[in-house]
Structure 1
Amino acid sequence: MSESTYVVNCSILFGELPLLERPAAAKAAGFGQVEFWWPWPGVAVPSEGELDAFCQALEDANVQLTGLNFYAGDMPAGERGVLSDPARSLEFRDSVEVLVRIAERTGVRAFNALYGQRVPGVSAAEQDRVAAQNIAYAARRVGEFGGTVLIEPLARGLNGTYPLETAADAIAVIERVRAESPESNGENVKFLFDSFHLASNAEDLEKVVHAHAAEIGHVQLADAPGRDRPGTGDIDFAALFAALDTAGYQGRIALEYKPSGTTDLTWMENFPA
């Protein structure tokens, strides 16, 4: 892996700093590429000033935004997406237009679409139908400028009633979007491989890579258990990187872990081993 491969997720790292100071901190640590979750929790359509300030912080830091989450509701309050909730489809689609504007200004082309938790009183079948429609809509919009929608499983027990827990769950969603909305350019809907979430759900990471190599659109790293930096848990990252190399993965790899203290990226000097 080359240094240019690595991306810093500034929504989870540098949490000791205000959000808009984190791109500059990543740059000072030697990284030229960053990704973010949706920067405005609980707000689908930020003000013009908020949008401009976010993009300006990236420009001022001279870093490239390479990944951005779609609006996912109020994540600090526990929400994990809104796109499968029939009552929030308009809210989600309004936020897509904001995301498109950010992409036009920053050049970001990879977008994580958190599926959303199960909603009481609404059947799983109805939520899955709505989710497929909204993912297809998002894929059409970002496909207009070469963007990719990413679908991610999350660790069970930590994310409420989020229904996508395994690689197979995510792949099933991707296949449904392609089957039901062929006009959506569903080929730009891919699997987000997150080592922490998959390992937390007892997935064999190397087997997942080999089984779904063609569908992996992005990789995120954190160790498990604990979600701290690689080397603090049980994941064999040397074996994981070997599997990714064998599978021909050439995309970016994001550091998306929770530092146990103030963010310090000097450990990267000896990584991978």
Structure 2
Amino acid sequence: MTYTVNCSIMLTEFALLERPVIAKHAGFDAVEFWWPFASSVPVDAEVTAFERAITDAGVQLTGLNFNAGDMPGGDRGLVSWGARSTEFRDNLDVVAGIGANLGCRSFNALYGNRIAGETPAGQDEIAIENLALAASAVARIGGTVLLEPVSGAPDYPLRTAADVLRVISRVTATSGAENVTLLADFYHLAVNGDDVDAVIEQHAAHFGHIQIADSPGRGAPGTGDLPLERWIARSRELGYEGPIGLEYKQPAETAFEWIPQESLAR
């Protein structure tokens, strides 16, 4: 089993740039991050420090989010946010540059909340255009744009796999882009009431990525009642070959106790 540790939500007892090496010491060879900078276009020194934290730790960056705004403050992406569309577009080359330097090919674009004063239809039009631009930017390095349902954010409009797939179909129809895919976060799907088994049966072979957390609580597998092991196994049977993103909240001391040591990929 190949796991990748989301170092933005996990290992938070440590400074952000210390987390890749902590993940390595815990037995992992891969990490992923939400956007790790305060702005869409960080200064060169910030980018260099981030890239060195990955390479010096000896881990592979398997996923990186585009700038999603102030996540602790409630933002959930800039893709459909008209007033901040320029920030998203300014972010594209930076993300692709980091991906090129670190061999990362998967990039998560959070769609964005509904915004007062902007119509849903208008926001969706902006989103389709921005996703097409993102797909073009990362296609230059063989990259894929990921799009996911999100829970816990009442103004976020993509709640089910079907919601996401409708957006992806529009992007493909309007731009021809074929490198925008579903990020199947089993926690978000389950909490939002989607039929995760059906989603897996219909789409697992084409998942761009899988992320997991248990429910209730968004803790480590085994702390809740989701059949994560079965869902992962079935996704593999149906053709999903990528890593499994660990994106849950758990103290570092016990974060990986549920994984048999022989299962860690090296």
Range class of TM-score, shorter chain:
over 0.9
- 1:57-108 deviations in Å (ceiling 9; x for gaps): 1111111101000110111111000110112111101111111111121111
Q: What residue number does 2:137 align with?
A: 141
- CA–CA distance in structure 2, aligned partners of residues 263 and 136 of structure 1: 40
Secondary structure of the corresponding residue to residue 45 of structure 1: coil
Q: What residue number does 1:207 align with?
A: 198
The equivalent position to 2:11 in structure 1, one of 11, 14, 31, is 14
Could you say which structure has the greater relative contact order, defined with CA pairs below 8 angstroms and 6 or more residues apart?
2
- CA–CA distance in structure 2, aligned partners of residues 48 and 34 of structure 1: 22
Contact 1:206-1:239 within 8 A present in 2 as well: no
Q: What residue number does 2:29 align with?
A: 32
Q: What residue number does 1:51 align with?
A: 47
Comparing 231-240 with 20-29, greater Cα deviation is found at 231-240
Secondary structure of the corresponding residue to residue 267 of structure 1: coil
Pairing 1:151–2:142 present: no
- CA–CA distance in structure 2, aligned partners of residues 120 and 264 of structure 1: 38
1:62 to 1:271, Cα distance in 2 relative to 1, 3 A: closer
- CA–CA distance in structure 1, aligned partners of residues 105 and 90 of structure 2: 18
Contact 2:24-2:58 within 8 A present in 1 as well: yes
Letter paired with 2:202: A
- TM-score, normalised to structure 2, is 0.95
Where do 5+ consecutive residues of structure 2 fail to align?
A: none
Contact 1:45-1:95 within 8 A present in 2 as well: yes
Contact 2:212-2:228 within 8 A present in 1 as well: no
Q: What residue number does 2:114 align with?
A: 118
1:263 to partner: Cα distance: 5.2
Letter paired with 2:184: F
Pairing 1:226–2:222 present: no
1:56 to partner: Cα distance: 0.7
For 1:169-184, list aligned pairs within 5 A.
169-182=163-176
The list of structure 1 runs, each at least 4 consecutive aligned residues, that deviate by more than 2 angstroms after superposition, is: 260-264
1:160 to 1:48, Cα distance in 2 relative to 1, 3 A: farther
Secondary structure of the corresponding residue to residue 103 of structure 1: helix
Contact 1:16-1:262 within 8 A present in 2 as well: no
Q: What residue number does 1:103 align with?
A: 99
- CA–CA distance in structure 1, aligned partners of residues 262 and 223 of structure 2: 13
Letter paired with 1:107: G
- 1:104-126 deviations in Å (ceiling 9; x for gaps): 21111000000000011111001
Where do 5+ consecutive residues of structure 1 fail to align?
A: none
RMSD: 1.5
- CA–CA distance in structure 1, aligned partners of residues 72 and 31 of structure 2: 20
- 1:173-208 deviations in Å (ceiling 9; x for gaps): 1000001111xxx21100000011001011222111
1:261 to partner: Cα distance: 6.1
- TM-score, normalised to structure 1, is 0.93
- CA–CA distance in structure 2, aligned partners of residues 117 and 7 of structure 1: 27
1:214 to partner: Cα distance: 3.9
